[in-house]
Amino acid sequence: MPQRRSADPDRYLPHHGSGDYVVDHYALDLRYRVEPNRLEGVARLSVRALAPLEEVRLDLVGLRVTRAEVGGKAAKFTRKPRSLRVRLPRPLEAGATTTVAVTYAGNPRPAKGPWGETGWEELSEGVLVAGQPDGAPTWFPCNDHSGYKATLDLTLTTDAPYTVVANAPVATVTRRAGTRTWVFERTEPLSTYLATVQIGRYDVVALGARETPRVRVARPAAQAAAVAHDLDRHDELLECFEELFGPYPFGSYTVVVTSDELEIPLEAHGTAVFGANHLDGTRPEDRLVAHELAHQWFGNAVTARTLADIWLHEGFACYAEWLWSQRSGGPSAQALADEHHARLVRAPQDLVLTDPGPERVFDDRVYKRGALTLHALRTRVGDEAFFALVREWTRRHSGAVVTTADFRALVAERCGAPAADGLTPWLDAAPLPAISPR
């Protein structure tokens, strides 16, 4: 597994996650009834101690726990509104492993926090999970810290008319009277907030002509023509990003289009979710299609250790929008950089990119200034060195977690210390630097 030591506490999520242990694997066996919004589940966790451990503290919100086991035997547990503590029968030494199983049930609801509501959310016909940044505990017990990654096995039984989409391709579907049981392939290592379930009256069809990775779209039948029109260049988009960023990092990618309108699209490991308003047959949000696909490299494969470094996700994904705009016949990356720089100059100069503060993690200035930082670096070192750097970033860190310090170090290694030093005013100071023309 990529993690070998305790992750630093996330200052922006102070009550989430534990640095005393990691979960190397989650196995979730869930049953969900759509009409009453009733979830029942058993979560089995492969736990490895990073420090001497007497109990396992898990994040879990709004669901009732009826049983806990350690090593296959019943264990004592204590439940609080946002956590579950499972007592170990005997202490674990650092490096030792055990299994923890939790049986739970309830009516899952989004969690309310500084960023609005996140997690399990009912749609008019089905469910979506919006995990970022703190929504995972609304549907399964977990060590909710983006600095840890684990593989995931998922089995979900639900009402027969509904289709289930998750992070990995479907392995089997078993039909019984009134229900279907969906078993998914094991995922690559992922952070808990990137685990997802999408349930709806969807048809799942191939998207584009590529066989590797497996690219699919899940959408209501009534939206088939509109979605096909708006995604008709998806193969070209994927090829563009593989050329610039390196091979697509996972075995599959599924675009989900809900029948509901959504405020913003959502990304998860191997999936992206759009509302009916985003793909309506007029190609209104082409840039967002590019943005969400780019997150598979930047955010999902290469994941920031803490939220303070969210620019490593959003800056790259925003810059990917600009690169695709230029490739697809729209405004050039330079033109878009000039446009957004002019806007940011007029905005308050009070945001530090590497520590925006929890209330401004998703401030649009983080996105645009992050993209401008990358454009400034590209302007300084040239296209060949810049894109070689980006491909090395994704190659070296895919499946792992990173910090801004890791990015600076790679820039210094590949492009020299002056290039790395040139990032300082962009990353560490509030005033917006000038941007050099190409």
Q: Are 136 and 193 in contact (CB under 8 A)?
A: yes
Angstrom CA distances, 51 to 3, 22, 55, 56, 321, stand at 14, 10, 11, 11, 43
Among residues 292, 319, 321, 384, which one is catalytic?
292
| 291 annotated as belonging to a binding site for a ligand | yes
User: How far apart (Å, rounded) are the C-alpha atoms in residues 101 and 103?
Assistant: 7
Q: Are 250 and 186 in contact (CB under 8 A)?
A: no
CB-count exposure of residue 36 (10 Å: 0-12, 13-18, 19+): exposed
Among residues 148, 248, 319, 367, which one is catalytic?
367
32 is catalytic: no
| 341 annotated as belonging to a binding site for a ligand | no
Number of Cβ within a 10 Å radius of residue 349:
12
| 234 annotated as belonging to a binding site for a ligand | no
> Which residue has tokens 């994040």?
59
243 is catalytic: no
Query: What is the phi/psi pair of residue 426, to 5°?
Result: -75, -40
Helix-then-strand count for the chain, H and E: 10, 23
CB-count exposure of residue 417 (10 Å: 0-12, 13-18, 19+): exposed
In Å, the largest CA–CA distance within the chain is: 66
Cα 207 to chain centroid distance, Å, stands at 21
Q: Which residues contact 165 (CB under 8 A, 6 or more apart)?
A: 196, 197, 198, 199, 202, 204, 218, 254, 256, 271
- Residue positions annotated with a catalytic role: 292, 367
Residues of each annotated binding site for Zn(2+): 291, 295, 314
Residues of each annotated binding site: 291, 295, 314
